[in-house]
Structure 1
């Protein structure tokens, strides 16, 4: 039991470090994903991921690709720590009978981990999306053929002041702290948890797919049952499982992104809930709309979870907690 108590903080450290490194590397692609998912038919500003990134750099500079990164980097450590540590916790207790883990138990552990992580994920995503989508709204106003609107449909005063701009201007900087304070003032704590149901709908299935798939792929790389897989195999397994799970739940991610976007451009729909959002997207944009940003999301999740597994293999957390040598050094 003492070993379990020592290893849990180490896992939290591993998850936090992996999250920070991963988010820093892939955040621009995540920004492109959010903007592509929020586009409506007839109002497309970006053709694809590359076009989105190029236009973002041209209009907002290199730092424009990192809009909302601060809130992600701040909250990704507890988010990844909860997700990974909770999965290990539930796997440990579900295998106490000595008979190991069946696929069903692995999926149950992943499901439980996904439910735990939304405590952090929902407000993190809520704030991040507002900041990421700001440039799309301005670019939409600038696009030829779209009548610029001087008043965007909004539900947030801070965002309104930042985004009510003329077509030739750039939105004034607004911080995640300002948005959070305004939401708490006007809607209470539930304001930060707008889209909670959709977040659960995305993250629970993601964890159900990801954790068992990674465990089985990683097992294929083990020289023997008692040995660990090489770090490169863990990285590949993490990438494969992460991208597969990301694409599988992309329709849920589209719904979540739309529901959590407080600001709407001209003639963009508002939604009353998950079912209403799903129905309107299907009716007005067709089934293909649910795959918007799927490629970006796969590219984001692959290295993110590959890095997570490498951190676990290297044992940075264990090194910090116990001063034992890192695996790659000792090998």
Structure 2
């Protein structure tokens, strides 16, 4: 269910993600490609998105199950935060190499995805594919700490108001709101991650220090630089939250139904 949700959202919203990456790139939007070749890097996203989202939800649901608490407990948000954080740490092992290749392709649309992948391995080795792992985890964990407890809370609130469980489309609406809000507050961390992934090998930014990357952006572009790409990021993640969490709930319900009929 997680894999289907992840692949759906990444492929549908790929152009918005390209525009956001180019807005955040150090060379500027038009030099990075502007509106040309907005599907550059899509093979990397297509290969990485299914296992990445599957790994996230597998970990998320498993940790939630291990930390079972009564649904009325005030510890529920803490449980969702811990489960989401664990999910992100595992999923980023798959997401980061895919993201590094994808973002390089998005700002140099003339290069082929496989060529970029080979160049990274040849010039920087395996650690080149994991450049920005720390900054990605540092972006994803705060994002998930906001998005998932908010999503679960909104679903519970809606269920309570209508006195029955939420439908898949209602779960999707809650996901859109939670995703958009989380996207806005974590944009500076996303900018830092993009700068680290796009930096020239051997430069100080490529070292992966998030605070150092944020300071550099603040000094050169101020607050506007820290929130570069905030609107396409909010738009893509709100829409992404709608598709991702809605598709996840819908697929999980279908699979449960098939499982019940099979038994």
Secondary structure of the residue aligned to 1:228 is coil
The answer as to whether partners of 1:29 and 1:296 remain within 8 angstroms in 2 is: yes
How many residues are paired up?
A: 257
CA shift for structure 1 position 67? 0.8
Shift of 1:129: 0.4
Deviation track 1:247-273 (CA, whole Å, cap 9, x = no partner) reads 111101100001101459xxxx86243
Change (3 A) 1:32 1:113: same
**Gaps spanning 5+ residues in structure 1: where?**
1-13, 47-51, 136-170, 326-331
Matched, 1:285 2:221: yes
Contact 2:88 2:137 in 1 (8 A): yes
Stretches of 4+ aligned residues off by more than 4 angstroms: 96-101, 223-226
Alignment partner of 1:311 out of 247, 251, 254: 247
Deviations 1:248-301 (A, max 9, x none): 11101100001101459xxxx862432321221111111221111111111111
TM-score for both structures, normalised by structure 1: 0.70
Aligned pair in 2 of structure 1 residues 217, 97: CA closer, same or farther (>3 Å)? closer
More helix by share: 2
Shift in CA distance, 76/282, structure 1 to aligned 2, threshold 3 Å: same
Q: 1:204 is matched with which residue?
A: 141
Which string of whole-angstrom CA distances, capped at 9 and with x for unpartnered residues, describes residues 31-75 of structure 1?
0000001146xx5638xxxxx99x52xxx4xxx121111110111
Using the size of structure 2 for normalisation, the TM-score is 0.87
CA deviation after TM superposition for structure 1 residue 311, in Å: 2.2
Q: Give the drift of 1:227.
A: 3.8
Are 1:116 and 2:90 counterparts?
yes
Unaligned runs of 5+ in 2: none
Q: Secondary structure at the match of 1:72?
A: helix
Larger Rg: 1
Q: 1:222-255: per-residue Cα shift (whole Å, max 9, x none)? A: 1579842022211110101111111111101100
Equivalent residue for 1:23?
A: 10
Partner of 1:146: none
